[in-house]
Structure 1
């Protein structure tokens, strides 16, 4: 896979996938991960390579969101502390686990969260922080740990779970939730998963330059559009992406 045409395909797929992911708060795996398998990589190698490329999505989104000062640093550290252990656990076990049943279950669950958001018309349209108590943080942290396990093991669309959990449990609006997901999941959770999979598995390094450029540019552009378009656009995009990711996982 060294010729220019294949590198161009990788660049374009990565750019499109990460623009949509950065705008909706997850779902880069909808296009990018299956494309790597279609182009000839085994599942484990494709997963590890995709994880490394996804870190660039977090870098691109971080560069844009830091200009907006969208993040509370204490809350950011909480998300990292509760989610990262789950990512490492998930990434360490996935290479030895048959994934057909898990993908079916995750697909049904992903469609479910999209429908949940759609039928809750006002969900995520306003910023109204809740559950900022000890009990609220314990339950919220357990939820983030579970999402981290999914993120480390099943790459397609798990950022969407983090986005909805931040909206539903902690009362964030979609714009803020997407910012946390892209910066913390995209940069740090995916980084931890990439390192774990890189140690335990194999990465196709020759494919990464095109994927990294597409992810970096797509992350920045998608984050920019999410900031200027507002919550209703993000909510609708989130719902569409979750349905597409869920159907892709099932079929």
Structure 2
């Protein structure tokens, strides 16, 4: 059944995607705002997931471009992670209708609290690089798992990728944020391809929102590059705690 979407909804969701794009560029977690908005607009869950991935792909692509031009992404060292996060996302999207999200709805807030605690208490959460605890090749394992989660569920995937870049690869916070955009772009390409083949994507709405997402990501990525860890660190804490509160509310209110 085709859903008729009114013009005012196109305009309002496109405007909202500017905000979500900015949040995504700085700390990840834009889906916390966009997904409930799509569902509130009457869009079925599967279509909302598919359409959100489409607009997010263009937005994160803009951030990725800006971070690459600033020389903050070493994509040659992390090509294997790009591949595994792509494959993980494919598996995640294909699995979403076979697995229950209820358990994830309780487990993910616990992980997000851990991310927030790490950001608050770790002295490594600044822009200085430190000793890597995991090689770039070994890092492809955790990124594949995060890609699977991103394809299946999504909220907080960007925050997990940033924290992993700092904790496991020893990257400074801004460089870890930049790398997370490259990996997130790869997982979104996978999700858009699989959802597109399933026929669940609302292409006109998604492309309209993509214009807003690109604008928000452009502003957000330049802001993150300029202010670095002193902006990204508090933004990550706020996003992680907000996602935790939202997911716990959804779980216990259901």
TM-score by length of 1: 0.91
Match of 1:72 in 2: 74
- Alignment length, in residue pairs? 246
**Cα shift readout 1:105-164 (whole Å, capped 9, x = no counterpart):** 11221122112211214324411241354xx732x2221111111111112121111111
SS at match of 2:76: helix
Match of 1:220 in 2: 218
Q: Does residue 182 in structure 1 map to residue 184 in structure 2?
A: no
Match of 2:30 in 1: 28
Aligned residue among 81, 86, 97 for 2:88: 86
**More off after superposition, 30-39 vs 58-67:** 58-67
Match of 2:156 in 1: 157
Q: Does residue 232 in structure 1 map to residue 235 in structure 2?
A: no
Match of 1:118 in 2: 120
Unaligned runs of 5+ in 2: 250-254
Give the drift of 1:21.
1.1
SS at match of 2:140: helix
- Counterparts of 1:184-199 in structure 2 under 5 Å? 184-185=183-184, 187-199=185-197
Aligned residue among 12, 15, 32 for 2:15: 12
The CA distance in 2 between the partners of 1:197 and 1:2, in whole Å, is: 19
- Counterparts of 1:24-63 in structure 2 under 5 Å? 24=27, 26-63=28-65
SS at match of 2:93: helix
SS at match of 1:75: coil
SS at match of 1:73: coil
Give every structure 1 segment of 4 or more consecutive aligned residues whose post-TM-superposition deviation is greater than 6 Å: none
The CA distance in 2 between the partners of 1:63 and 1:141, in whole Å, is: 22
**Cα shift readout 1:31-85 (whole Å, capped 9, x = no counterpart):** 0111111111111111111111110112211232222111113223122122221
**More off after superposition, 4-13 vs 37-46:** 4-13
TM-score by length of 2: 0.90
The CA distance in 1 between the partners of 2:113 and 2:134, in whole Å, is: 28
The CA distance in 2 between the partners of 1:73 and 1:47, in whole Å, is: 27
Pick closer, same or farther for the CA change 1:13–1:127 going to 2, 3 Å. same
- Counterparts of 1:122-133 in structure 2 under 5 Å? 122-131=124-133, 133=135
SS at match of 1:189: helix
Q: Is the 8 A contact 1:57 1:182 kept in 2?
A: no
Unaligned runs of 5+ in 1: none
The CA distance in 2 between the partners of 1:143 and 1:248, in whole Å, is: 25
